[in-house]
Chains A and B, each alone.
Chain A
Amino acid sequence: MLSYNCKYELKLLLRSRWIQLLSIMLLLLFGFSIYNGLEKVEKRKRDITAAKEEVKENDAVMLKLLDSVEGGMEVSASPWTIPTSPMAVGNYHPRVAAMEPQSMAFIATGQADLFTHYVKPRVSGDDSALNFAEMTSPVQLLFGSFDLAFVIVYLLPLLIIAFSYDVLSAERESGSLRLLAAQPIRIQSWVLQKLGLRFFWLSILVIGSLTIIFFAVGLNPFTEMTGFLGLLGLIITYMLFWFALAFLINLWVGTSAKNAVALLGLWVVFVLLAPSMLNQLGNTLYPMPSRTLMINQMRDLKAEVTKKQDEILDNFLRDHPEYAINDTTQYRGFYHRYMASQKLVKEELAPVVDKFEGQLQKQQDWIGRFKWVSPAIIVQESLNQMAGTSTRDYENFRKQVVGFASDWRQHFMPFLYNNQDFSQKDYPNLPKFQFEQRSSASFGVIPVLLLIAIALFGLGFTVSRSSKKGNILTAN
């Protein structure tokens, strides 16, 4: 029976042009979305390279200036930008702290359109002045991006629904179910076989079209074997989940139209409602403190600090006697006071800023615990992680940059407080930023998804409606 099923199902799918239609749609959807993703990644790479080039050019100018000044020549630059002053180097010649894209970055835009991929921390200004939000039209953020993740999470289930909602009901409606009932096979097994075959063909089409598109856009899936296989594994288990739902609905509900409505309802619940409700609950349980009120606090603190600048500097120097020893001039200017108070502001504000991070972390944990209510969330999150564009990746980048900003500031402190000039020989010692990818994609969700799908299939087998009512032929 299985071999007949295989043979006729394929014939049927080919003659009803389902296979042809699906291949074209998959090629178009995958093609367009991957093209979009790659375009974004290209732009990101271009921007970072351009920024680094600019720094290189500026550095050349700086070294030339230093050379002239050290040679005792007159220079035409504004006096406060001359790089013998360490603060000028720290402010006008910042390094690029960039987050290079991962090799799979094109599969999911994730938070990539929301956050910037490089910043240039300076010595003055505080960490909150580092704006990590990218300059984008909010309309684009609202609509989101047509990326591969969107095709997989949103559209693929709909294709599956369209492909499988009437597997059983169509037979009943066309009258051929009576013929089938005469065959020596359980109805569940027959539906399972039929859906299994459709799942098999759709998987082949998905793998085939993805591979074709990968080659067409000049990516070699075999160089990134684990990533590519992980991606396929994720897609296929997600598909299996939707086929399992289709199996249940086919057995439990009735007419084609009712099946379609029920499956669609599930799609709305899993893909649209569950994520937004989870997000809303997370926000309500762990609300973010107000940024506007944070600004107030910050301003108050700064106003107070400005008034007490001299006192703060004295205290600072008492805490750091090493700065006072080597300097014979003991000159104290604007920057001496400024940097000392800046440090104080940062320390005082730390609890306020940490509160934001803490609440975000709590929201993350909450989602981590409850993301299992919807496979759509799991798949989207995994794809974002694979692409290195998840919230966590950007948080990670933010932390590393803040760390680097502090290094950068710290690097110039001895120069400043010892009133020591910055010179050419100090140039190679400037701190450099290197982004480290911390979270790597985990494929642990694949077996879990697989288990969920298998459990659903098992449920269909044991609790099937036919066993209760006895007549699947006329069920409506």
Chain B
Amino acid sequence: MISKTFLKETRELMRDGRVRIAFLIVIVLLGVAALISARQYKNVNEQYELAKRSERAIWDNQGEKNPHSAAHYGTYAFKPKYPLSLLDQGVDKYAGTSIFLEAHKRNEAQFSAATDQTGLARFGDLTPDFILLFIIPLLIVLLGYNSFTKEREMGTLTLLKSQGVSAWRWALGKWTALFFPVLIITAALFLVAGIVLSNLDDFGVFSWSSLFIMFVVFVAYYIIFINIVLLISSLAKRSGISLVVALCIWIIACLAAPKAASNIAESKYPYPTRQEFAANVLKDKKEGLDGHNPWSKQAKLLQEQVLKEHGVDSLHQLPFNFDAYRMQKGEEHEAEVYFKHYNYLKDQYIKQSRIYKGLAAISPYLPARFLSMSIAHTDYATHWDFADAAESYRIATQKFLNDNFAENSEFGQWSYRADADFWKELPAFEYNPPELGTILSDNRSNLFILGIWLMASFGLLMFTTKTI
């Protein structure tokens, strides 16, 4: 019975002109979106490589210079783009791509693509994730809304009942008929993406297992939609009503809930404005040691302490340049201040995430979106991770420079110049995004919510089709 229903439904779908057109449109859109993303990916990566190389060259060729001048001159950390961003662009467009690493200051990532685009960009982009997350669920609604209602409308329901069909087999047949085409489209897209990505030259971070997990997430997301659509179809009296209700669910899940969540999250746990943040940091910085200010109270305290530790009574007798030492201590204090304030931001973000998770109760879109972004390394958490890595690198760089200054010069010797070759000794900034295992364990709650959706929708579907 399952296979018969499946065959009949599939044949019916294939014969329906609307379905064919809808399918064709989705496939064409996917193709175009993938092509655009692939081009963009290649472009961005080329720019990234070039920028990274020339920035390093600029750093290496500074010539003779005081290490602290070099610290102020600074260097840049560029954020790479990862292969799976081909499938899900996530928040990449809204997050900055380069961080300026300089002395005394932690800077935020600058130059997000969205700030360089027109207002139209806010409608969304034609990218694979747009098709995968919005259009395919809509396709499911269009394919499945009349699955049960048509039997009622055409009067075939009575015929079926007279056959003594077991309801769940019948329902399962319909379910598979709806699931199969969706599975094929998705599998084809992921397969093509996998082949394309594994053939790229620089596919170092690409892994088939990540791609597969992402595929599983999307399939689960679609199964939830299939269940919901069939559930509505089995409960509704007319096809029209079934369609309208299913659409309402789609709108709420994919459009309204995320926006509402973002508003609620922002009003409950707001970020400070850029200027406020800077002012707060400045206030805390002032309370501690300033490496450039030898006359402050904290500087005097440090001086006394260091003199006592080394058992000498003048800064000139110290085995290192106290100016540079103080600079490093100041740097450490400043790093702590930044750590505190960025942690506050992170905290706000974690609290905001809880709101998103709460609203996932009415929207399976939310957990699916967060999961797919995480796996693609295009989510906010990866951005944080990158920013933190850049900050650790900045702190290490400052220590590297200050240590050189302290060890190779004497107190008051601001005219000291480090060798022109010295800069090459600084290790390059390398960033490795979190592994798949870490990502999945970080996203336990999203996986859990998606699982609940999956089971609950299955359960309800089984329950209602029993009594059709």
User: Chain A interface (Cβ within 8 Å of chain B)?
Assistant: 32, 36, 39-40, 43, 47, 50-51, 54, 78-79, 110-111, 114-120, 131-146, 150, 154-155, 158, 162, 165-166, 169-170, 255-258, 260-261, 264, 268, 272-273, 275-280, 282-284, 288, 290-293, 295-296, 299-300, 302-303, 306-307, 356, 360, 363-364, 367, 377, 380-381, 384, 390-391
Q: 8 closest A-B pairs (Cβ-Cβ)?
A: A275-B123, A138-B94, A138-B91, A256-B240, A292-B51, A291-B111, A143-B258, A146-B259
In the assembled complex, how far is the CB of residue B456 from the closest CB belonging to chain A, in whole angstroms? 24
* A146 engages B260 (CB within 8 Å): yes
A47: chain B residues within 8 A (beta carbon): 273, 275-276
- CB <8 Å contact, A110 and B119: yes
Q: By the criterion CB–CB under 8 Å, are B274 and A135 in contact? A: yes
Prevailing SS type, chain A contact patch: helix
User: B108, B123, B135, B251: which has the most chain A beta carbons within 10 Å?
Assistant: B123
Q: Which chain B residue has the least Cβ–Cβ distance from A54?
A: B279
Contact call A257/B243, Cβ cutoff below 8 A = yes
A36 in contact with B263 given A139-B356, A258-B18, A280-B36 (CB within 8 Å)? yes
Sampled A-B contacts (10; CB under 8 Å): A116-B275, A119-B275, A132-B115, A138-B95, A139-B262, A283-B117, A288-B117, A296-B55, A363-B118, A380-B119
Return the chain A residue nearest B114 by Cβ.
A114
Please name all residues of chain A whose beta carbon is closer than 8 Å to the beta carbon of B261 when the two chains form the complex.
143
CA distance in complex: A282, B123 (Å): 14
A276/B117 in contact, CB under 8 A: no
Cβ-based interface call for B121 (8 A): yes
User: Is there contact, CB below 8 Å, between B110 and A131?
Assistant: yes
Q: Among the listed B98, B145, B267, B349, which residue makes an inter-chain contact with A39, where contact means beta carbons less than 8 Å apart? A: B267
Q: Is the CB of A256 within 8 A of B239?
A: yes
Instruction: Answer whether residue B58 sits at the interface, using C-beta atoms and an 8 A cutoff.
Output: yes
| Nearest CB on B from A138, distance (A) | 4
A137-B349, A141-B91, A141-B114 given; 19 more Cβ-contact pairs under 8 Å: A117-B273, A118-B275, A141-B94, A158-B251, A162-B244, A162-B247, A165-B240, A260-B240, A260-B247, A273-B29, A279-B117, A288-B113, A295-B55, A295-B76, A300-B58, A302-B73, A307-B63, A367-B118, A377-B120
Chain A CB within 8 A of B329 CB: no
Name B95's closest neighbour in chain A (CB-CB).
A138
Find out whether the CB atom of B118 lies under 8 angstroms from the CB atom of A292.
no
Residue pair B349, A79 in contact (C-beta under 8 Å): no
Chain A residue numbers with a CB within 8 Å of B142 are 261, 264
Do B47 and A293 have beta carbons less than 8 Å apart? Answer: yes
Q: What's the minimum C-beta distance from A359 to chain B, rounded to whole angstroms?
A: 8
A121 to chain B, nearest CB (A): 11
Provide the B101-125 mask, 1 if CB < 8 A to any CB of A, else 0: 0000000101111111111111111
Chain A residues, Cβ within 8 Å of B120? 275, 278-279, 282, 367, 377
B295 touches which of A54, A79, A114, A381 (Cβ 8 Å) = A79
Residues in B with CB closer than 8 Å to A391 are 118-119
Contact A139 B296 (CB under 8 A): no
Q: How far is the CA of A114 from the CA of B117 in the complex (A)?
A: 11
Contact between A133 and B112, CB atoms less than 8 A apart: yes
Q: Does B305 count as interface, using CB distance less than 8 angstroms?
A: no
Q: Chain A nearest CB: distance from B67 CB in Å? A: 15
Are B98 and A291 in contact (CB-based, < 8 A)? yes
Q: Looking at B114, B145, B262, which has the most chain A CB atoms within 10 Å of its CB?
A: B262
Contact at A115–B271, with CB atoms within 8 Å? Answer: no
Contacts of A282 in B (CB 8 A): 118, 120
Min Cβ gap A101→B in Å is 14
Query: Considering only CB atoms, which chain B residue lies closest to A392 in the complex?
Result: B119
What 0/1 readout, one digit per residue, does chain B (265-303) give for beta carbons within 8 Å of chain A?
111001111111101000000000010010110000000
Q: Please tell me if B238 contacts chain A, counting CB pairs below 8 Å.
A: yes
CB of B240 within 8 A of CB of A43, answer no
B123:A276 contact, CB within 8 angstroms = yes
A111–B267 alpha-carbon span in the complex (Å) = 17
| Contact status B97-A291, CB under 8 Å | yes
- In the complex, which residues 41-89 of chain B have their Cβ closer than 8 Å to any Cβ of chain A? 47-48, 50-51, 54-55, 58, 62-63, 73, 76, 78
Whole-angstrom CA separation of A150 from B36 in the bound complex = 27
- Contact: B126 with A280, CB < 8 Å? yes
Contact of A381 with B119 at beta-carbon distance under 8 Å, contacts A135-B108, A146-B262, A256-B239 already known: yes
From A154, A162, A296, A363, B117 is in contact (CB under 8 Å) with A363
Smallest CB-CB separation from A278: which chain B residue? B120
The closest CB in chain A to the CB of B52 belongs to: A292
> Shortest beta-carbon distance, B115 to chain A, in Å?
5
Most A CB atoms within 10 A — which of B47, B119, B142, B244?
Answer: B119
